[in-house]
Amino acid sequence: MKNNISVVINTFNEEKNIRNCLESVKWADECIVVDMHSDDRTVAIAQEYTSIIFMHERIGYVEPARKFAVEKTSNEWVLIIDADEMVPKKLKDFLINIAVSDQVDVVLIPRENYFWGHLMQATGWSALQDMQLRFFKKSFIIFDDKIHSRPKLRPGYRGYTITDESCGFTHFNYLTPEHFIEKLNKYTTIEARNRFERGEKFSENKFFAEAHNEVMSRRNAGKGIQADGFHGQYLSAIMGMYRLTTGIKLKLLEQYDNQVVEECIRQEYAQIASGIIQEYKDEETSIPAVAIGMPVYNGAKYIHQTITSLLNQTFTDFKIIICDDGSTDETVALCREFATLDSRVQVVVNEERLGGAKNFNRAFELSNGKYFMWASQDDLFHPTYIEKCLAKIEVSPQAVMALTEIVFIDENGNRAKVDSPNDINIGTEGMNVVQRLQEVFKRTGWWAIYGLIRPEILRKTKMYRNEFGGDVILIAELLLHGEFAKIVEPLFYYRVRTQKSFTIAHNMQSIDHTQTPSKAAYTDLMRSIVRCVVEFDLEPMIKNQIIISMANTLAAHNQPICNNILQENAAHLIALAVSTDQLHQITLDQIDKKSQG
């Protein structure tokens, strides 16, 4: 059904944003892109979505190009959107209703602004404080070519203001403070990093005091502010902003643990965009009850058995997304044979090698189901596995995952020997969060990642990290969110390599082939889990209980992990070992030091 709406997008070097923007306006009758001769792939991406693309002289500001774009529209109603914005489904539905009902002529739309990964709630940038005149009948609007000019309204227009802040644009405004204060970027970055490396901690009160003192000291210096007029006002204000910018950068260094802040926040934005795009996918197609993500790499030896075990499930409403990471054997050909015979199988071949962890995450990103599960390329599943896991999770509202007990099989499919009594799958029904995390530290093997997961919870995690024990960290992170509901019946067949001994180097090759294994892999693993606990939204007392319980559980139930941590830190533990004979205290001092900062 036609909605009589034209969408206008002006672009210049927007290849990182334009696809998400265009995905959110595919519903419009007409989409017009006016590009100022971008140097990147903006136009190529836009051509995937619309054939109506015009070029405009690159003049450094958008107003003339916007006026040009509106004049090219063929529909009565026009929606203007920037390339770094998206139209959520709720706003789309509202705009179509307005166009169809024809009771107004112009509409003011709220806009949610994300600054540095934070959704602004005030200071002139909240949704209802940043209203945009972007949806209108073009016969009621007059555009000007002047920079920063606002469109004028013709007499007699009927206006409407959307007052629901959740019914507006989503605007990915600034990724980092560097985009906001470019001139101060270099020096504030250097100072923030110096403070971070000195161990200085962010304090909101301290940095506001620094900014206030900076402004006041400059206003009162020498002949005072009157001597320099506006220039003095600007200098004192911008130097106050220098202090605040240093503070926010220090805070972000702490928040993202000295990682590349821009990449971390872009991943968060990608998840937000993915959620919006998912709404449209859900509307266009009926989604399966279960999506199965299968990351594969050179798995030809067992892949036929694995896929067959999934296609033979008694529960049939599922889809398998196979992500091949550049296999050099017959893996892709075998998978495509299944895809030819069964529409529930989809094969995706990565354009470049991602590595195991990123390929796991890509399999999830491409999935679309009420529930999600990963399947390894060499494991097997009992015919009732999905049916019983699905039944279990749907009667377990506190559970974030349903899983079954395990049968270990060797290369030939025979039962393999279990190394220790703790090598069973994790079940935590009825446990509190401290008890749930204890279950992680009792084990030397972890397989819960292959259970049936609630995808909305999985999206709240940092997914499978490309570091040693990334699956273990994800299991711990999921347990912070809720319970694992276990079916005691062994329905999952996990294949072990009886002819190969475990090494950290081999494990890292399967996780991220580009990384060199850490010399303190087990210590880093425990630190990452502690970091998950510290960053999670829990009372400080509960966080401390989890961390202390973690050390005590390792000492009491997991001698292999303790020994590895001790060996990795032997030089640092000699002095401490002389003064105490409590193994759990030694382990706690090593693991807990990150959270005590």
pLDDT greater than 80 at residue 437? yes
pLDDT greater than 90 at residue 239? no
Exposure of 386 in the CB half-sphere (CA atoms within 13 A) = 25
Share of the chain above pLDDT 70, in %: 83
Share of the chain above pLDDT 90, in %: 51
In this prediction, residue 242 carries a pLDDT of 84
Tokens 């009902």 -> residue: 101
CA–CA dist 559, 556 (Å, integer): 7
* Three-class SS of 235-263: HHHHHHHHHHHHHHHHHHHHHCCCCCHHH
In this prediction, residue 215 carries a pLDDT of 78
Q: What is the CA radius of gyration of the chain?
A: 28
Task: Give the residue among 250, 339, 340 at the shortest CA–CA distance from 296.
Answer: 339
**Highest mean pLDDT of the ranges 139-148, 370-379, 409-418:** 370-379
CA–CA dist 477, 437 (Å, integer): 9
Query: Which residues, at least 6 apart from 333, have a Cβ–Cβ distance to it below 8 Å?
Result: none
In this prediction, residue 9 carries a pLDDT of 97
CA–CA dist 497, 499 (Å, integer): 5
pLDDT greater than 50 at residue 222? no
Tokens 């555009």 -> residue: 143
- Of 356 and 388, which is predicted with more confidence? 388
pLDDT greater than 50 at residue 137? yes
- At 345, list the tokens: 């199988």
In this prediction, residue 183 carries a pLDDT of 47
In this prediction, residue 318 carries a pLDDT of 95
Give the CA angle between residues 19, 173, 78 to the nearest 5°.
60
**Highest mean pLDDT of the ranges 97-106, 137-146, 495-504:** 97-106
In this prediction, residue 255 carries a pLDDT of 86
CA–CA dist 374, 294 (Å, integer): 6
Lowest mean pLDDT segment, chosen from 37-41, 199-203, 238-242, 345-349? 238-242
Q: At residue 284, what are phi and psi to the nearest 5 degrees?
A: -80, -35
Instruction: Give me the helix-helix angle, 303-311 and 331-341, nearest 10°.
Output: 20
pLDDT greater than 50 at residue 576? no
* Structural domains present in the chain: 5-174 (3.90.550.10), 178-263 (no CATH), 286-511 (3.90.550.10), 521-592 (no CATH)
Residues in the chain: 597
CA–CA dist 167, 519 (Å, integer): 51
> For the CA atoms of 370, 375, 379, 382, what is the dihedral angle to 10 degrees?
10
Give me the chain's average pLDDT, please. Answer: 85
Count of other CB atoms within 10 angstroms of residue 204: 9
Q: 539-556 burial, b if ≥16 CB within 10 A, otherwise e?
A: eeeebbbbbeebbbbbbe
Name the E strands within 309-418: 318-324, 345-349, 371-374, 380-381, 399-409
Lowest mean pLDDT segment, chosen from 88-97, 264-273, 427-436? 264-273
- Of 148 and 126, which is predicted with more confidence? 126
Name the E strands within 162-311: 169-174, 290-296
161-175 mean pLDDT: 91
278 — pLDDT class (breaks 50, 70, 90): confident
- Of 35 and 413, which is predicted with more confidence? 35
Name the E strands within 75-178: 77-80, 85-86, 106-109, 111-115, 118-119, 132-137, 141-142, 152-153, 159-161, 169-174
69 — pLDDT class (breaks 50, 70, 90): very high
In this prediction, residue 597 carries a pLDDT of 47
Count of other CB atoms within 10 angstroms of residue 276: 18
Q: Cβ(475)–Cβ(426) under 8 Å?
A: yes
Give the CA angle between residues 302, 304, 309 to the nearest 5°.
100
Task: Give the residue among 137, 150, 69 at the shortest CA–CA distance from 106.
Answer: 137
Lowest mean pLDDT segment, chosen from 200-204, 344-348, 394-398? 200-204
541 — pLDDT class (breaks 50, 70, 90): very high
pLDDT greater than 80 at residue 401? yes
524 — pLDDT class (breaks 50, 70, 90): confident
Burial class (CB within 10 angstroms; exposed 0-12, middle 13-18, buried 19+) of 384: middle
Q: Cβ(67)–Cβ(90) under 8 Å?
A: no
Handedness of CA 496, 498, 502, 508 (dihedral sign): negative
514-541 mean pLDDT: 85
24-28 mean pLDDT: 96
pLDDT greater than 70 at residue 178? no
CA–CA dist 382, 359 (Å, integer): 25
Q: What is the pLDDT of residues 284-331, one digit of tens each?
A: 567 899 999 999 999 999 999 999 999 999 999 999 999 999 999 999
- At 335, list the tokens: 């998978």
pLDDT greater than 60 at residue 585? no
In this prediction, residue 512 carries a pLDDT of 64
Tokens 């002006």 -> residue: 10
- At 124, list the tokens: 């002139």
In this prediction, residue 283 carries a pLDDT of 61
In this prediction, residue 567 carries a pLDDT of 80
Q: Cβ(146)–Cβ(131) under 8 Å?
A: no
- Of 123 and 316, which is predicted with more confidence? 316
Q: Cβ(345)–Cβ(309) under 8 Å?
A: no
In this prediction, residue 581 carries a pLDDT of 47
pLDDT greater than 70 at residue 181? no
pLDDT greater than 80 at residue 141? yes
547-569 mean pLDDT: 82
Q: At residue 27, what are phi and psi to the nearest 5 degrees?
A: -75, -15
